[in-house]
Structure 1
Amino acid sequence: MQKLNADVLVIGAGSGGLSVAAGAVQMGASVILLEGHKMGGDCLNFGCVPSKALIASGKAAHAQAHAAQYGVTDVTPQVDYAAAKDHVAGVIAQIAPVDSQERFEGLGVRVIREFGTFISPTEVKAGDHLITARRVIIATGSSPLVPPIPGLDTVPYETNETLFDLRERPDHLLIIGGGPIGMEMAQAHRRLGCAVTVIEGAKVLGQDDPEMVQVVRDRFAEEGIEIAEDAMADEIRGKAGAIEVAAKDGRVFRGSHLLMAVGRRANTDRLDLEAAGIETTRRGIKVNASMRTTNRRVYAIGDVAGGLQFTHVAGYQAGLIIRQAVLGLPAKMRTDHIPWATYTDPELAQVGLTEAQAREEHGGNLKVVRFPYSHNDRAIAERKTDGLIKVMVVRGRPVGVSIAGAQAGELINLWAFILANRLGMKHVANMVAPYPTMGEINKRAAGAYFSPKLFDNPMVKRVVRLVQRWLP
């Protein structure tokens, strides 16, 4: 057994772990990185990157079939599903060197391609290595949650970890789960020529504002995607190419392929956390506001910590860890400024409180302002007028923003900046946006907040009349 020592031990080479390792080693700390599976973790290999690549293929096919509105003849796209998957693999391959073992070893990180297991509060075993470190960061991520639905063990099914290896286009894809993964893959596959049914036990995109979700639902209906809500899967039966999902209310859904997209579970099984004195919750590893576990030497970040499960959150938390474990400075997690986006078409984006949350928290102090895409000239020019922005404002400061529409994931960036720095609506109103851009939607939302104060205010009108009387 080879004994190793380091300032920082990172377990897991996903986005969060890689960010900690790169930052710490470049600041002068000695770093060991453990990864028993693929460098880059879920995001690069099975999540964000391949899903957005497949969505891009679907968008290209959809554009060919809906070009007449721009004066270009519609054509029926000739989709090569296997070639679309080659595109996905090519995108992963192009990004992979940034996350590679070779790159991190070049930075000075000791990379060990083994899973890590605690054998005491201060020691981690990885293969034939026994490692001690001043600080340990658990960044092992999450895996698809596969619930124990009767019959599922007898029927072939996909998860996000296997879907992108599928080479033959499904005739009819059944998707259990109407969250972001399920909905994104539903639309991408529909646009690539599959029939698609989304089976959701509650409501699709249940974490988002229902008014915004309706914008997406309307588009899904137009594209022929079937959505079955309040359809809790009770039994799965059949065989490859002929699968049935029976809901508790008696509905039966039939398709050729099945995708399980009901959620995620924290990857803690291999860690033996009990040996390290680390407590867990139902969602993952128990951490405090500083991302420290019940073992003061050990931190947990990203999906495994049981909070918001987004790559950018893991990256944000990595910065907090570098501040503490490398620089010895205090840092605490906050979530009020964390945005998220769902990359359907139209897109959904959110930062801060939804309208319902804001009304519950702020009551009569809340003002909600809206601005529709249909009043934005760039959206009109590009025939992308479905959608709106909704800003929740309390005493001149936004506490939440919801966007449904084209480029919502880009538009939310400004509001994430505003909330992160606790700025006000006046700062957005002072911005000059180039014309014509989708970004003007943000400025016009701020204008919608101030307009009543300026144009519907009797006092303002009296002051203006006085000023005009005395102006030379």
Structure 2
Amino acid sequence: MDRKKVVLLVTLITLIGLWFAFDLSQYFTLEQAKAQQLALQDTIAEKPFLSSLVYFAVYILVTALSLPGAAIMTLLGAALFGFWWSLLLISFASTIGATLAFLFSRFILRDWVQAKFGNRIAPINAGIEKDGPFYLFTLRLIPVFPFFLVNLLMGLTPISTRMFYLVSQLGMLAGTAVYINAGTQLGEIESLSGIISAPVLMSLALLGLFPLIAKFIMNIITQRRVYANWKRPEKFDQNMVVIGAGAGGLVSSYIAAAVKAEVTLIERHKMGGDCLNTGCVPSKAIIRAAHTMAEISRAHEFGITTDKPQVNFEKVMSRIHNVIDKIEPHDSVERYSSLGVNCISGEAQILSPWEVEVNGQRITTRNIVIATGARPLVPGISGLQDVNYLTSDSIWSLKVQPKKLLVLGGGPIGCELAQSFSRLGSDVTLVEMAEQLLIREDTDASLLVKESMHKDGVDIKLNHKATRFESITAEDGTRIQRAYLEYNGKEVIVEFDAVMLALGRVANVQGFGLEELGITTTQRGTVDVNDYLQTKYPNIYAVGDVAGPFQLTHAAAHQAWYAAVNGLFGQFKKFKADYSVLPAATYTAPEVARVGINEKEAENLNIEFDVTRYGIDDLDRAITDGEDYGFVKVITPKGKDKILGVTIVGNNASELLAEFTLAMRHGLGLNKILGTIHPYPTMSEANKYTAGVWKQANAPQALLAWVKKYHAGMRNDKSQKITQPTAPNTQAKLEEEQR
């Protein structure tokens, strides 16, 4: 930091320190003004210009230094100078002071903040450059953030000083007038009875209602601004049009139909979307086949002898498609039509915020839900188009099992399919650029999955990057396909019959009108939505993979509820999408299931937390099943049983997670789980034993020490005689001997 910045910073800190050191705020209270009201009014009457100038300067100083008391000074000025003159003084003084604070922040901090956090705040800078004046006007009119904080934060953004001043001058005027009106009424109070006078009560009511009124006005202004270039239809054919019949689209349309709204669902390909046709359903079906093969190969562990099993890959794939066919009626046109949804097959095109065209038919609608999903990412690696590459969409069309399969990507999809194909007999190599598989999970969870996949025969290459591919024909006419990998500056070559791309998914945001409407996307390429899942246009929503941030079927269904309810009933009540308790699972062997934060995320949040861990290798049911590996790990606040997050690694971990998800959703802690009866022997007991580990670690030691002394005292108390019952005849003999 250069010398000028240091001098200015020291000066500002000194002035602020003097303010608090001498408690100068005590002189700027309404009570002080009332006590000196007559004297102050006489001074103002004698020297109006000088008094106004002093007040004006002090107000600028208080706001420029971001000192507390601006609101009190506004009320004070109104009580002393009257409505119109104080409005003139305060309007300009507050804006000048705010601009000085803005300049202080810009001069001292902006370069440092931009240099250190440039990448993170780039979207904010872009938003300010595009709509900065409107954002600032909204903050000034509706004080969401404290007055001084807006000044300081805006100084760090690209907005110009001139624009900041003009918008602030205009935006703060209405709020200043409301405060001054209240101040003039309070200044006229001479006795306690004056407090309940109609003008004072009305002024206080207006003071409280102003933010709500301002918010209502801003909503109207925002909507008119957004819809300015579009003509709204006089009436609508539908209450809602949903584009895309995956999980998000199906649930949105189902909810709309359930509440008797007119809803149209448009799908260009297959009902059920990726989940049914190329995602969840087929992947779990092949995992089941692979699991069966793994179980057979372990038969000797249970004393069972089998012949060498054979995989009929064609039948494996046939069963997968049979499973899809069996589930397909759940998501079919027939079913949703019977529920009251108007299902249309075709390409949708959004023409305006209220119009959608499909198959030449134009439909007017009050709301639109975009649920167009995502597609596999196909990178631009040299030579990729020359080799036999597959994605999570196309792999289900295989007829012949690849002898050598290369998998790019160590995320959930890559790990699940790599392990499954290896268990079914393919020679699988998995390549991951990062230092661990399942990069979002804790290291201990990732290591267990890695060890299991290695035992299943997967050749795992971490910290490797694919740089190019090639396909050549050998002298004998056979086709040779190779991948060239980079590892620590060296080149590694892997031959394969097919390469499976599992490098993530790209949101489907093009080709149906978003660009023409000016609906923006995020850096991740998903549709930009707010907390209510609204796009730039409040009546257009986006859910599922196209909106993010989670690419999970149940997340899409979860979002769909919010989009449908907000779209149909938002004029009465809107709901923010809540992702605080969102479970997820990776269906490798062992499974990895998680809800809430994990240990890695807790450390990044810089919070004090405890980690409670229970090893499933100690669980009776896991031992009897031969599945005694993995763990349950719970994150809690220091010394408390509130569940912040859970990671489970083990057999059927996804099923065990449900109890913790329920507990987190309804605010139940580990003590409640410990007090719940679990049947024996079951895997679910792992949850109870984990709670027991936490309880033991957090036992009240002082109380237990006292109880120990109590029991010791009870053992040594000789006044407590222990008598044994005697038989009647024995008792009679004793009495006779005593006589």
TM-score (norm 1): 0.96
Q: What are structure 2's unaligned runs of at least 5 residues?
A: 1-234, 473-477, 721-739
1:208 equivalent among 417, 434, 441? 441
Q: Distance in 2 between matches of 1:241 and 1:321?
A: 51
Describe the SS at the equivalent of 1:397.
coil
Task: Give the structure 2 partner of residue 361 of structure 1.
Answer: 605
The correspondence of residues 44-123 of structure 1 with structure 2, limited to 5 A, is 44-123=276-355
Q: Distance in 1 between matches of 2:701 and 2:363?
A: 69
Task: Give the structure 2 partner of residue 352 of structure 1.
Answer: 596
Higher RCO structure (Cα 8 Å, ≥6 apart): 1
Task: Give the structure 2 partner of residue 430 of structure 1.
Answer: 675
> What amino acid is the match of 2:480?
A
Q: Distance in 2 between matches of 1:69 and 1:252?
A: 37
Q: Distance in 1 between matches of 2:630 and 2:236?
A: 55
> What amino acid is the match of 2:670?
M
Between stretches 436-445 and 121-130, larger displacement belongs to 121-130
Describe the SS at the equivalent of 2:530.
coil
> What amino acid is the match of 1:316?
H
Describe the SS at the equivalent of 1:187.
helix
Task: Give the structure 2 partner of residue 134 of structure 1.
Answer: 366
The correspondence of residues 34-433 of structure 1 with structure 2, limited to 5 A, is 34-202=266-434, 203-238=436-471, 242-249=480-487, 250-283=491-524, 284-328=526-570, 329-363=573-607, 365-394=608-637, 395-433=640-678
Higher helix share: 2
Which entry has the higher C-alpha Rg, 1 or 2? 2
> What amino acid is the match of 1:331?
F
Q: Is 2:7 the partner of 1:7?
A: no
Contact 2:236 2:366 in 1 (8 A): no
> What amino acid is the match of 1:388?
F
Contact 1:277 1:295 in 2 (8 A): no
Describe the SS at the equivalent of 1:418.
helix
Post-superposition Cα deviations, 1:201-227, rounded to whole Å, max 9, x if no partner, equal 113211111111111111111111101
TM-score (norm 2): 0.62
Q: Give the C-alpha shift of residue 468 in structure 1.
A: 6.6
CA RMSD of aligned residues (A): 1.7
Q: Distance in 2 between matches of 1:167 and 1:291?
A: 41
Between stretches 328-337 and 111-120, larger displacement belongs to 328-337
Post-superposition Cα deviations, 1:356-401, rounded to whole Å, max 9, x if no partner, equal 21123254x3110100011100000001011011111112211111
Post-superposition Cα deviations, 1:338-369, rounded to whole Å, max 9, x if no partner, equal 11100001101111111021123254x31101
Post-superposition Cα deviations, 1:396-443, rounded to whole Å, max 9, x if no partner, equal 211111111101111111111122223211121111111111001111
Q: Distance in 2 between matches of 1:414 and 1:187?
A: 28
Post-superposition Cα deviations, 1:171-208, rounded to whole Å, max 9, x if no partner, equal 01101111111110011101111110001111321111
Q: What are structure 1's unaligned runs of at least 5 residues?
A: none
Describe the SS at the equivalent of 1:331.
coil
Between stretches 165-174 and 329-338, larger displacement belongs to 329-338
Higher strand share: 1
Q: Give the C-alpha shift of residue 158 in structure 1.
A: 0.8
Q: Give the C-alpha shift of residue 470 in structure 1.
A: 5.6
Task: Give the structure 2 partner of residue 449 of structure 1.
Answer: 694
Q: Give the C-alpha shift of residue 41 in structure 1.
A: 0.1
Describe the SS at the equivalent of 1:251.
strand
> What amino acid is the match of 1:440?
E
Between stretches 79-88 and 147-156, larger displacement belongs to 147-156
Task: Give the structure 2 partner of residue 461 of structure 1.
Answer: 705
Q: Distance in 2 between matches of 1:362 and 1:351?
A: 19
Task: Give the structure 2 partner of residue 32 of structure 1.
Answer: 264
Contact 2:368 2:539 in 1 (8 A): yes
Between stretches 270-279 and 407-416, larger displacement belongs to 270-279
Q: Distance in 2 between matches of 1:193 and 1:273?
A: 45
User: How many residues are aligned here?
Assistant: 468
